[in-house]
Amino acid sequence: MSAKTSPAQSSSAHSSPAPGSPAPGSSAPGPPAETEGRVVLDQRDISRALTRIAHEILERNKGAQDLVLLGIPTRGVPLANRVAAKITSVEGVHVPVGSLDITMYRDDLRMRPARTLLPTEIPSGGIDGKVVVLVDDVLFSGRTIRAALDAMNDVGRPTSVRLAVLVDRGHRELPIRADFVGKNLPTSLVEKVSVRLAEFDGVDSVTISGEVAP
């Protein structure tokens, strides 16, 4: 389960980042957990959101020329692959997809237990001179994306970098904005947004729990 929570909640690899550590929102693959909270996106909703993101990327880029998608592990990677597949189905061209681990670039690295390094896989054509779209599951404070931009400096120099997220839950701490958003989901800091994907969890869903009673 991939979850973005407030710092007041328990911490795990991806389910309880300090505000804005969306990347740790992706836990290691494991058996599907029981669905908790209110479902805000189901399988069809997620598919439609990714289809819309794919079309918006193509419209913004005026086609698939020079596009590279880099997913932020864990759940940003399958999302990037899904978006690339949708772009290919429209344009009929292959869109390179890779992954970009941000573990060693996190600004809370010294304050948390050691983390397992996740794969960084850059497509064979590299990213120099390319239009890179970073893909993540949940955008929270923006600190994960800042770390991703730092990590990217070590692997190449793209022409431009854009950001696609399945869910934007708000509470930004840095001046970072997503270019392509599947769903804007206003939340409070006590709420937890959990993303489950079939590749890791056996089901596609986005849930919100810990909601404040009206």
Give 37-60 pLDDT, tens digit per residue: 899 999 999 999 999 999 999 999
**Listed residue (35, 11, 123, 133) closest to 79, CA to CA:** 133
User: Which residues lie below 8 Å from residue 24, measured CB to CB, with a gap of 6+?
Assistant: 12, 13, 14, 15, 16, 17, 106, 115, 144
Query: For residue 204, what are its two tokens?
Result: 């596609």
Average pLDDT, the chain: 85
Domains in the chain: ranges and CATH: 41-187 (3.40.50.2020)
pTM of the predicted protein model: 0.82
pLDDT of 150-177, one tens digit each? Answer: 999 999 999 999 999 999 999 999 999 9
Average of pLDDT values for 29-34? 44
63-79 average pLDDT score: 97
Buried b (16+ CB within 10 A) or exposed e, 39-60: eebeeebbeebbbebbeebbee
pLDDT digits (tens, 9 = 90+) for 97-147: 999 999 999 887 767 766 788 889 999 999 999 999 999 999 999 999 999
β-pairing, 180-184 with 160-168?
parallel
Q: Which residues pair with 3 in a beta bridge?
A: 194
Burial bucket for residue 185 (CB in 10 Å: 0-12, 13-18, 19+): buried
3-class state of residue 107 by DSSP: coil
CA angle 59, 62, 66 (to 5 degrees): 120
